[in-house]
């Protein structure tokens, strides 16, 4: 290598290292102070980049200044909470401890093992399994003889099926799953992460036609019949027009006629959005053209899903499909296959962590941590300690002699600490719950295992909290968030609810803000036939249900009738007819008779009509005043050189 090239590379490495070092130094510097309390740049940067997109060089100063104002307000409130001692409150400490265990999980998980679970889940998501099951329930802490009895009962049912008994009939006869009355044990199609892990394993690991089991889950023992396996269908986005059905036969007949008529309209070329707006009874989607969110297998009822996935090209519509909710016509908007692993990895990690399979991950992590922390167990002390717990544990009434000499015996040790029998007994006393049907020895073992694992995880968490900057910042986020919520509830939210005098005074001072919009109360009659509208206009004394009977018994969509309250801008036609009267509108092949029954004038609304909105506004007012007081109490001083240096990093 030439000497000049070597020197260039060394200089580059030196500059790179110096830059990295200088950035780290910058992050540790104080960005601002509130009173005597400093706040470092690194933590501000964490919050800033988490809550906003990375700015360009041109916009950095403006965006950072805007967020800094919000961040200072946030820190003012948290600092006030600490000054009031809210971080010492027992409820706060207990809540934060609960979050600590969850937040530490990614830092405790064995990467290799977690990757194995992720890969397994993703590979399984490429397929869907159709299965049926028979469930006999067993309590998790059941006595061994009860567990064995249920296990043997499941084996007998399996033997009957092996000899030729019909699985569905056996499910109806024996299964304790409440849904068996409706589905005969059939679960439909499902994919990974939709069932408990042992059940999912049996479904994916056995061939079509197999009756697997007994399978133990937290619900009991199952027999599982694998009915089919197919490639995953991915996700689909559709719109729908729905006509609701009831248990009334006459109403259902009308619904069927109506959905069939809408279907014929669509086949004849009528506009989908127009038909949806006119007739769909799914009010949440009708104004948006019936559009629904993306969904995959297992998200909606099977008849709807199957019809949606059967559509091939965007714009295709289904024949009317019946579900337990009513009749639907479905229009395909788009389809997409299972996304690449890298694109869904973050979401998949969250789902795997929440899933029952994460228990296996925790066992693997625990074994690793035991090695890393130099775990040593005295089995003789453990045995004696367990023997010292009697059957009063099962009724949650166990206690121990606090003067006993055995309490000081070391149960197990780690490199940094030791755990005695006293520590274990204190844990058992606080953790015991009524378990009358449980096996005593098994219950004692469960409590010991929990004590051991929680002690090891707590020791590791203490190390992580002290040494891992990412974890410290995430923990600060949760800690500050809980304190902020508690303080805001006391100082703003609850105060606005309780302070009726202050609320009334605020409303009186701002009554001009709370005015109802002028509206029209209208009756709307719509038809594709001018003659029907003419006849209906001569029978306006009839009720809506009477008009429906007169005009829609023979032809389901002859006349659509609605009672509405309409604001200006919602119906452009009525904006030009803003007074009582009857007006005929013709548009896109439809005739609409608008009967404007009343012009409801704008008016100041009484407090009881807008109380929710007034409370929200009053809370904002209280918060603004309070923040001004906090800024006076904790003067704000920005470190301008650090701020400028940070802006330049963009």
Question: Band of the pLDDT at 24, cuts 50, 70, 90?
Answer: low
- pLDDT value of residue 114: 66
- Strand order across the 30-34 sheet: 37-40, 30-34, 636-638
Question: Band of the pLDDT at 141, cuts 50, 70, 90?
Answer: low
- pLDDT value of residue 359: 62
Distance of alpha carbon 405 from alpha carbon 75, whole angstroms? 50
pLDDT of residue 21 exceeding 50: no
Mean pLDDT on 370-391: 93
Topology of domain 127-231 in CATH is Chitinase A; domain 3 (3.10.50)
- pLDDT value of residue 348: 86
Residues 6+ apart with CB under 8 A from 349: 106, 114, 118
pLDDT of residue 445 exceeding 80: yes
What is the DSSP code string of 253-272? HHHHHHHHHHHHHHHTT--H
pLDDT of residue 15 exceeding 80: no
pLDDT tens per residue, range 329-348: 999 999 999 999 988 888 88
Distance of alpha carbon 254 from alpha carbon 222, whole angstroms? 43
- pLDDT value of residue 362: 66
Cβ–Cβ under 8 Å, residues 596 and 520:
yes
Residues 6+ apart with CB under 8 A from 446: 141
Topology of domain 242-336 in CATH is Chitinase A; domain 3 (3.10.50)
* Residue ranges per structural domain of the chain: 30-83+470-514+618-650, 127-231, 242-336, 373-467, 516-604
Residues 6+ apart with CB under 8 A from 537: 525, 582, 593
Token duo for residue 323: 């579900």
Domains 242-336 and 516-604 fall in the same CATH topology: yes
Mean pLDDT on 116-141: 89
pLDDT tens per residue, range 145-197: 788 889 999 999 999 999 999 999 999 999 999 889 888 999 989 999 889 88
Question: Band of the pLDDT at 376, cuts 50, 70, 90?
Answer: very high
pLDDT of residue 379 exceeding 70: yes
First to last CA, the chain: 36
pLDDT of residue 107 exceeding 90: no
Question: Band of the pLDDT at 136, cuts 50, 70, 90?
Answer: very high
Angle, nearest 10°, between helix axes 167-174 and 144-162? 150
Query: In 109-226, which ranges are continuous DSSP H helix?
Result: 111-124, 144-162, 167-174, 180-183, 197-205
Smallest Cα–Cα separation from 344: which of 394, 294, 280, 402?
Answer: 294
Question: Band of the pLDDT at 6, cuts 50, 70, 90?
Answer: very low
pLDDT of residue 101 exceeding 80: no
pLDDT of residue 509 exceeding 50: yes
Cβ–Cβ under 8 Å, residues 2 and 601:
no
SS3 12: helix
pLDDT of residue 646 exceeding 80: yes
Radius of gyration of the CA atoms of the chain, in A:
34
- pLDDT value of residue 361: 59
**Which of 435-439, 501-505, 577-581 is least confident?**
435-439
pLDDT of residue 426 exceeding 80: yes
Topology of domain 516-604 in CATH is Chitinase A; domain 3 (3.10.50)
Distances (CA, A) of 82 to 7, 33, 78, 483: 54, 16, 6, 8
Angle at 267 between CA 262 and CA 268, to 5 degrees: 95
pLDDT tens per residue, range 54-98: 888 888 899 999 999 999 999 999 999 999 999 998 888 888 887
- pLDDT value of residue 110: 47
pLDDT of residue 11 exceeding 80: no
pLDDT of residue 531 exceeding 90: yes
- pLDDT value of residue 18: 38
The average confidence (pLDDT) of the chain is: 87
Mean pLDDT on 624-641: 94
- pLDDT value of residue 473: 83
pLDDT of residue 211 exceeding 70: yes
Per-residue b/e over 541-555, b at no fewer than 16 CB within 10 Å? Answer: eeeeeebbebbbeee
Hunting for tokens 């299964």 — which residue is that?
A: 175
Distances (CA, A) of 446 to 399, 436, 540: 18, 15, 74
pLDDT of residue 251 exceeding 50: yes
């Amino acid at each position: 290598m030439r000497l000049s090239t070597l020197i260039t590379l060394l200089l580059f490495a030196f500059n790179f290292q110096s830059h990295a070092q200088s950035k780290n130094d910058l992050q540790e510097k104080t960005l601002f102070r509130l009173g005597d309390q400093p706040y470092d740049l690194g933590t501000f940067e964490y919050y800033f980049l988490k809550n906003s997109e990375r700015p360009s060089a041109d916009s950095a100063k403006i965006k950072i200044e805007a967020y800094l104002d919000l961040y200072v307000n946030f820190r003012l409130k948290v600092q006030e909470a600490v000054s009031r001692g809210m971080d010492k409150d027992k409820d706060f400490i207990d809540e934060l401890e609960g979050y600590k265990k969850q937040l530490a999980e990614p830092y405790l998980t064995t990467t290799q093992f977690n990757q194995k679970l992720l890969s397994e889940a993703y590979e399984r998501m490429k397929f869907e399994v159709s299965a049926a099951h028979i469930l006999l329930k067993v309590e998790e802490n059941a006595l061994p003889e009860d567990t064995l009895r249920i296990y043997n009962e499941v084996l007998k049912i399996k033997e009957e099926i092996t000899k030729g008994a019909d699985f569905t009939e056996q499910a109806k006869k024996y299964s304790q799953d409440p849904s068996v009355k409706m589905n005969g044990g059939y679960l439909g199609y499902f994919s990974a992460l939709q069932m408990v892990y042992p059940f999912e394993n049996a479904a994916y690991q056995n061939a079509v036609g197999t009756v697997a089991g007994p399978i133990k889950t937290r619900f009991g023992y199952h027999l599982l019949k694998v009915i089919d396996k197919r490639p995953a269908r991915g996700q689909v986005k559709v719109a729908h027009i729905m006509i609701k059905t009831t248990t009334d036969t006459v109403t259902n007949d009308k619904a069927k006629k109506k959905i069939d008529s809408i279907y014929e309209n669509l086949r004849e070329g009528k506009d989908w959005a127009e038909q949806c707006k006119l007739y769909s009874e799914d009010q949440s989607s009708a104004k948006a053209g019936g559009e629904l969110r993306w969904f995959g297998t297992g998200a909606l009822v099977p008849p709807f899903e199957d019809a949606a996935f059967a559509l091939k090209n965007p714009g295709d519509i289904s024949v009317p499909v019946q579900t337990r909710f009513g009749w639907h016509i479905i229009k395909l908007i788009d389809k997409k296959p299972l996304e690449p692993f890298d694109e869904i990895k973050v979401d998949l990690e969250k789902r795997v962590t929440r899933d029952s399979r994460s228990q296996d991950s925790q066992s693997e992590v625990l074994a690793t941590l035991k090695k890393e922390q130099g775990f040593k167990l005295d089995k003789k002390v453990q045995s004696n300690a367990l023997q010292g717990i009697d059957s009063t544990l099962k009724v949650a009434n166990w206690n121990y002699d606090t003067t006993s000499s055995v309490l000081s015996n070391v149960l197990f040790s780690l490199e940094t600490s030791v755990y005695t029998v006293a520590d274990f007994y204190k844990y058992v006393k606080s953790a015991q719950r009524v378990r009358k049907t449980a096996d005593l020895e098994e219950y004692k073992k469960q409590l010991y295992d929990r004590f051991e694992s929680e002690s090891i995880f707590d020791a590791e968490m203490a190390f992580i909290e002290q040494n891992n900057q990412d974890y410290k910042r995430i923990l600060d986020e949760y800690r500050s968030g809980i304190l902020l919520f508690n303080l805001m509830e006391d100082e703003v939210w609850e105060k606005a609810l309780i302070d009726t005098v202050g609320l009334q005074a605020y409303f009186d001072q701002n009554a001009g803000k709370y005015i109802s919009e002028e509206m029209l109360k209208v009756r709307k009659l719509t038809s594709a036939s001018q003659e029907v509208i003419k006849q209906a206009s001569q029978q306006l004394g009839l009720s809506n249900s009477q008009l429906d009977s007169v005009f829609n018994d023979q032809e389901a969509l002859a006349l659509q009738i609605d009672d509405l309250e309409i604001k200006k801008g919602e119906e452009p036609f009525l904006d030009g007819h803003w007074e009582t009267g009857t007006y005929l509108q013709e548009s896109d092949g439809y005739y609409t008779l608008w009967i404007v029954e009343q012009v409801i004038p704008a008016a100041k609304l009484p407090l009881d009509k807008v109380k929710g909105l007034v409370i929200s506004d009053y809370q904002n007012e209280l918060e603004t005043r309070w923040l001004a007081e906090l800024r006076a109490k904790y003067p704000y001083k920005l470190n301008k050189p650090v701020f400028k240096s940070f802006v330049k990093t963009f």
